[in-house]
Amino acid sequence: MSDSVTRRDWLKTMGLVGAGALVAPDALQRAAPATGQLATTPAAGAATPIVRHAAGTILDLVSTSEIFIPPRGRSFQKFSFDFPEPSVAFGDYTFGFLVFTDENTYGLDRAAIRADGNGDALTLTCDRFVWAGGQQTEPGRLTASLRRNGGAIEWDAVVEMERPVKSVTTIVRSVPRGHVSFGAGGFRDPHDDEMLAGYAFGAGDLNGPGGSMTTPLLMIQTPTDVFYVSSLDDHMRPKRFYLAPGETSYRVEAVYEHDGWREDRKVAVPAWRLGRVVNEQDATALHMQHVEKAFSLKSWETRTDVPAWMRKLAMVTTLHGMHYTGYMFNDFAKMLEILRWMATQIPADRVLVFLPAWDGRYYWDYPTYTVSDRMGGEAGFRRLIDEGHKLGFKLMPMYGTNAANTKLPSWPKIANAVTRKIDGNVYNLDWVDWNNDRHGDGWLAYMNLGADAWREHLEGRISDMITRYGVDAYFLDIVGGHVNSTNGDMHEGTRQLVESLRAKHPQVACVGEMPYDALHGFIPMFQVGLGPLWSKYSHAYQHLSSPAPGRGSSGVHESGFGRFNSETLSLSPSSIPTLQVVDDTFTSHRDVMTAIIQRAKQRAGIV
């Protein structure tokens, strides 16, 4: 170090002082930084030295170390004081840990930490926790194992507490700044914003401030490479990534949330992996190698749960039924009239007919699932299915995976299956204003398929409809809406539902609204565009709320009107062409219907 540069000047340049950061004097003595190695970050815009400490060095960091305090951009809730985060050096990074119970946050007690090992493998042991910002201590133990695996670093941990463990966070520092991608999605420049994303369904906080991931993968694009953090869990459990920026690097939280229906006082945190690779394709490929194995993902071509008719679909048509208010878009007789005409325009055996709101008022009548009398009753529905089949169409009614009206007489029988989040609070489906009183309606409960009462009810209603009417598929709304509930494993319950129905009705297909990675293992088709990464495993058509020809009505859906693009016919290039039919589509926009059908035939190579 040059005589003209003081120790404090050097530490300040490295971001290790200021903003409350502290470095233990013994750490400075034991771990001299490497010199002369430069890394350019988009945030800094200039080359900055990377500090390397000897493996096993313990740094006395706190929650505000090396980040902007106060925040310079968008920020999230945080402590208003310095919480101890002693961290161990390994590779180019430092690793710290926080443990959460139902009642508090716990950090590692610096006086009780021991690090053993070398630059290839290291064990961090802590025999006591601190709380109240380090003012109090608590019995407990954390053992973390860090290791090199090729060019990557992997780590896991075991935590023991006197109270049930809710979640465990790994804090990684010296992470390069750059453009950020969550869940293998697109990159964006966050500038000086803090970022938060959850897997899946926002990690159960869909309407919270952060984003949602379909797979637990963080990538950061630098000018020279891609940094990544990937979960190696082989079970579907919530994960979160939180990034807080500093001058030259991020403080990254990799959060593991434990099973909400357990009260384990000893928790094994599944492994995480981080590394730097040439590009995003390499990072994604490494992550997907694990995902494919963990959740038994098969390519579309080799799947055994895809019926022959689904493989040759050229088009899906959504025949909207009854709105929440009772407004009728199409009754069963009108639906059949539309299908008879459609069969003159395209081979009917190449078309899947999606039937949302066949059972009465959209969502209000969930989860009764009996044929609506106003729409034509059982006779009208049977005629629609039978005549549709004679024409060659495949037909699919819609069901709510996790929605039940608490005001219906059937509610008491399933009430104990309502979803309760990991802290015990009831999770309601209350984010929709169904009646336009400008207030989110609260009569819908969010149900958990991990609870026997709900899974058995829903399976019974779907199976009955298949047996009685011979429908070809069933649609599970919000199936990707995973919430970590205290009354059962929602993902496992979903898998049990689908596999049980498949065993009873092997020729009937399951279709879901939106996926997360593990759902591709047993659901072959979804109602949202999947992109090239996920279309390897499943296919997709367009959402029922996509604008219909004309004014762009979203039909029974709550989103009102969109803009129908007459040039592209509002078709997605990555989805099976989908024709939305509302109240005036067949009577006033049959020319557009014809154009969409022709476009679908062209894509499918139908002469």
Shared domain check, 269 and 323: no
Look at residue 433 and tell me if it is in a domain.
no
Shared domain check, 307 and 260: no
Least confident among 12-26, 86-100, 588-602: 12-26
Q: How far apart are the first and last CA of the chain?
A: 76
pLDDT for 306-325, tens place per residue?
A: 999 999 999 999 999 999 99
CA neighbor of 299 nearest in space, from 288, 309, 283: 288
* CA 441 to each of CA 181, 398, 429, 434, 479: distance values in angstroms, whole numbers, following the listed order: 34, 21, 8, 7, 21
Task: Give, as one character, the DSSP assignment of residue 69.
Answer: S
pLDDT for 520-558, tens place per residue?
A: 999 999 999 898 999 999 999 999 999 999 999 999 999
Cβ proximity of 534 and 493 under 8 Å: no
How many other CB atoms are there within 10 angstroms of residue 373's CB atom?
10
CA–CA dist 109, 132 (Å, integer): 12
Cβ proximity of 122 and 71 under 8 Å: no
CA atoms within 13 A on the CB side of 444: 20
Look at residue 369 and tell me if it is in a domain.
yes
CA–CA dist 472, 509 (Å, integer): 7
CA–CA dist 566, 543 (Å, integer): 18
CA–CA dist 446, 425 (Å, integer): 12
Q: Check pLDDT > 60 for residue 261.
A: yes
Q: Check pLDDT > 80 for residue 494.
A: yes
Look at residue 421 and tell me if it is in a domain.
no
Q: Is the pTM of this model over 0.85?
A: yes
Shared domain check, 239 and 316: no
Look at residue 160 and tell me if it is in a domain.
yes
Alpha-helical (H) ranges within 60-108 are none
**Last residue of some domain: 295, 316, 339?**
295
pLDDT for 191-215, tens place per residue?
A: 999 999 999 999 998 777 789 999 9
99 backbone φψ class: left, alpha, beta (φ>0; ψ -120 to 50): beta
Shared domain check, 315 and 277: no
Q: How many domains are contained in the chain?
A: 2
**Last residue of some domain: 239, 272, 295?**
295
Look at residue 526 and tell me if it is in a domain.
yes
Shared domain check, 140 and 31: yes
Cβ proximity of 276 and 151 under 8 Å: yes
Shared domain check, 388 and 517: yes
pLDDT interval class at 180 (50, 70, 90): very high
Can you give the CATH number for the domain in which 580 is found? 3.20.20.80
Shared domain check, 119 and 53: yes
CA–CA dist 594, 606 (Å, integer): 14
Shared domain check, 276 and 394: no
Look at residue 565 and tell me if it is in a domain.
yes
pLDDT interval class at 372 (50, 70, 90): very high
> What mean pLDDT do residues 456-480 have?
98
Shared domain check, 330 and 283: no
**Last residue of some domain: 261, 278, 295?**
295
Look at residue 427 and tell me if it is in a domain.
no
User: Which amino acid makes up residue 17?
Assistant: V
Question: Could you give the percent of the chain with pLDDT greater than 90?
Answer: 90
Query: Please, what's the largest Cα pairwise distance for the chain?
Result: 93
Can you give the CATH number for the domain in which 163 is found? 2.70.98
Find the domain containing 514 and state its range: 300-402+453-604
Tokens (6 digits) for 570: 């509002």
Shared domain check, 585 and 461: yes
CA–CA dist 389, 77 (Å, integer): 56
Shared domain check, 317 and 211: no
Three-class SS of 542-556: CCCCCCCCCCCECCC
> What mean pLDDT do residues 377-385 have?
98
Shared domain check, 478 and 333: yes
Chain position carrying tokens 């078309």: 351
Look at residue 1 and tell me if it is in a domain.
no
pLDDT reported for residue 284: 98
Q: Check pLDDT > 80 for residue 360.
A: yes
